[in-house]
Structure 1
Amino acid sequence: MRMSKFFASTRARVGLAAVAIAAVLLGVGWYVVRDGSSTGPSGAPPTTASAPVDDSSPAGDGAVNMDGRAPLTGLPVTKALNHPAVTVKVSNTPDAHPQRGLGSADIVFVEPITGATTRLAAIFHSQLPPQVGPVRSLRPMDAPLISPTKGVIANTMADHWVQQYIDRVAGLANLGTLRVPSGTYFIDRTRRAPNHVFAQPARLLELTDRVAPPPPYFSYAGDVAHSSPLSSGRTATSVTVGYGGSATATWRYDGASGRWLRAEKWAAHRLEDGNQVSAQNVIVLHAQRDLSFPQAKSSMTILDLTDASGSLQLFTGGKVVDGHWTKAGVDRPFTFTTTTGKALLLAPGTTWVECALPGMPIQTAAS
């Protein structure tokens, strides 16, 4: 979408949610997944239970049948996830650490926003922690990244032209801090401004008229062994994304847990609960800079993700495979394939996507 679409804005679609949804969300706070690796608000592993999942009917591209699975992780679920996804824009500057609630996210996008600074767009659906943050402002690239979820986005607003753009083109309920009743967001007085605002996902869902769960964001194999990296990739035990300064991120594969562990320039990326950020899948997505926004300051980084394409690497289970992405309109989903044109299949589980610009050094090691 280009600048001609800025000159109209739409009002955020706000209303009262169904009482039943609010009761479930407030009373439960998270949903159970069957792999045992996810945690509830307390940090303890959730209880597991048997639930029939049909893995015998994969889609034509080899992806697992998503019936009975969480749409944003591909993990089997024991409860229906009949509510929208909530995305929270999270500050990632050193003074914003330790962050709260990120360990419950299904998908996290790492967005370069200025030189050597990143911000996170964390998507929550299979688990809804009580609080997430610190919350920060929107960026134009949030529209193409998050619109495919068709859910709610939490933020501390943005420049007027950015708000206009998001409202105009994104299929999201934009529930920024100035658009909701007092008390919807939590102010933590022990934190310094501007990193003192925290979103409360369940309260946000009470304020939207949206009820539909998100469509699947990725395609998944039935298990790690059948994922694209394990099927056709090469060995990789670490990858470093050179954002610059303290934002530079390194992921290392931990064979004991079968997960990738994140560190930033100076130390392990640890959350408020003491746990290190981890993921089943890590995607390094390469995108060009979008220069079509004349209102943007020269220091603002915006990725070109609409009517665009690029390369990627998918890291899963100690392996990496090269791939390709394409995307049409803002609301349209990405298409992810291997370099041979086959569907890119992730392992069921959480996914972090590191968005990289041309010229950012990407270093991969195999030992």
Structure 2
Amino acid sequence: MPLVAVLAACGGGSRADPTPSPSPTASVTDARTVTTEPEQAQPTTSSVPATPQSSASSVPSTTAAPVVLEPLTGLPVRDEASLLRPALIVKVDGHLGARPQYALDQADVVIEEIVEGITRFMAVYQSSVPEVVGPVRSARTQDMLIAPMLDMPLFAWSGGNRKVTALVRKSPVVNLSASSRGLKGVWYRTKQRKAPHNLLARGAALFAGAPETSHRPPAMFGYRAPGADPGGRDISGFKVAMASTRVQWVWDSKRAAFLRTSDLKPHTVDGGGQIGVDNVVVAEVRYRPSKADPNSPEAQTIGSGKALVFTLGRVVVGTWTRAKTSQPWTLTDKEGRPISLTPGRTWVELATPARLTIIDVGVKPNEVPWKTK
């Protein structure tokens, strides 16, 4: 389907490639579309061709067709199939036995949450389809407080206790449990890992489980126009204690990305290098015992709290707010202005308060202590 034929129906999209070269006349109209107004007597620079002029018109058009952006990265659409693709959430194992994970670096957004003493990931895919993803693990009640913001996403998980399973079934998600019937060619266990850290899923087969009514998700964040100042102050990175998991992100100017270290080792993916992302959003939240299992923590992601947004080698301090499960987080700075992200991949840390330490410019990470209490 030609890209221009579905612009009106979709309204946005992108993928996680480097930020495109800025155009001096480009203006961001929302988190999903960019309108380009070319200068007089110059051809359009838009990646989407303008609609051909009618031969009966003697007045040339001065406005190019909008560039469609991916909703979860803010980058221009490269894969036209993503214009109609829903979001896919995969519950990925964070245990040491699950590392290196598969395709965790390909997710548009990763939400890291505390489970029983360690962390687990909600890896969200939409702009591209991973070949294999995992290891896949079970869900928690806190997942159903987050998933609805993606408007009926596909939800892939290994299973859960009776109460969690009942909650997933009645929540506004497409249930793609490993125990679900009718899914063909999705799940398999690799012999390279030990159970329960060896359940993998084929990305294309998961997306094939989407119903005909599925649609692309709304944007989760707002993104800056190319060349816009992100605000905040320069930093080298930060450390945050997520239960017993020690997470560190350090800005790499050569890769123009924050690189992840987990439990004092570079966090890598199977067959690839160290995980790097364009943005890290730290949302300080409270955890309460889950009603499904008192030993399972549940992040309280409705309400408000402190937010630290790490982007382009800087940190912007502000507040996150969210009124209901169907809405995304709103990020504002100390003056109440919206905080915009760098187009690209984003990692969200659902951290408990007072567990984060900034690594200032010129300071070595090993000189910065962990805040564990």
Q: Which residue of 2 aligns with 1:17?
A: none
Aligned 8 A contact 2:307 2:320 in 1: yes
Q: What's 1:363 paired with?
A: 357
Change (3 A) 1:156 1:68: same
Indicate how the Cα distance of structure 1 residues 218 and 338 shifts in structure 2: closer, same or farther if over 3 A, else same. Answer: same
Superimposed CA distance per residue, residues 279-324 of structure 1 (whole angstroms, 9 cap, x where no aligned partner): 0001111011234x44322x31111113x11111000111100121
Specify the alignment match of 1:335 in structure 2: 330
The CA distance in 1 between the partners of 2:163 and 2:307, in whole Å, is: 30
Q: Tell me whether 321-330 or 176-185 shows the greater mean CA deviation.
A: 176-185
What TM-score does the superposition give when structure 2 sets the normalisation length? 0.78
In structure 2, the CA distance between the partners of 1:32 and 1:275, relative to structure 1 (3 Å rule), is farther
Q: Tell me, which stretches of 5 or more residues in structure 2 are unaligned?
A: 1-12, 36-65, 362-373
Q: Does 1:137 align with 2:138?
A: yes
Q: Quick one: higher RCO (CA 8 Å, sep 6+), 1 or 2?
A: 1
Aligned length, in residue pairs: 312
- Mapping of residues 58-73 of structure 1, within 5 Å: 58-59=29-30, 67-73=67-73
The structure-2 alpha-carbon separation of the partners of 1:36 and 1:56, relative to structure 1 and needing over 3 Å to count, comes to closer
Summarize the Cα distance change of 1:347–1:84 in structure 2 as closer, same or farther, 3 Å threshold: same
CA offset digits 1:305-344 (Å, max 9, x no partner): 13x1111100011110012111122222222212211111
| Residue segments in structure 1 that go unaligned for 5+ positions in a row | 1-30, 38-47
AA of the residue aligned to 1:184: V
User: TM-score w.r.t. structure 1 length?
Assistant: 0.79
Q: 1:34 to 1:102 in 2, by over 3 A?
A: closer
Deviation of 1:34 (Å): 8.2
Q: 2:298 aligns with which of 299, 302, 307?
A: 302
Deviation for aligned residue 1:105: 0.5
Q: Deviations over 1:78-106 (max 9, x none)?
A: 33322111111000111100101112100
User: How far, CA to CA, are the matches of 2:15 and 2:329 in structure 1?
Assistant: 25
Whether the aligned pair in 1 keeps the contact of 2:119 and 2:243 (CA below 8 Å) is no
Is 1:190 the counterpart of 2:184? The answer is no
Distance 1:88-1:294 versus aligned 2 partners, 3 A rule:
closer
C-alpha deviation, 1:179, in angstroms: 0.8
Secondary structure at 1:162 match in 2: helix
- Are positions 1:95 and 2:97 aligned together? yes
Equivalent pair of 1:283/1:315 in contact (CA under 8 Å): yes
1:289 corresponding residue in structure 2: 287
| Pair 1:237-2:236 in alignment | yes
1:266 counterpart residue number = 264
Q: Which has the higher helix share?
A: 1
Q: In 2, distance between residues paired with 1:294 and 1:125?
A: 31
Q: Cα offset for 1:144?
A: 2.3
Residues 238-253 of structure 1: matches in 2 within 5 Å?
238-245=237-244, 247-253=245-251
SS at match of 1:311: strand
1:313 to 290, 308, 311: 308
The structural deviation recorded for 1:257 is 1.3
The percent of aligned pairs where both chains have the same amino acid is 29
| Deviation, structure 1 residue 148 | 1.2
Higher Cα Rg, which structure: 2
- SS of equivalent residue, structure 2 residue 149: helix
C-alpha RMSD of the superposition: 2.5
Give the CA deviation at 1:275.
1.0
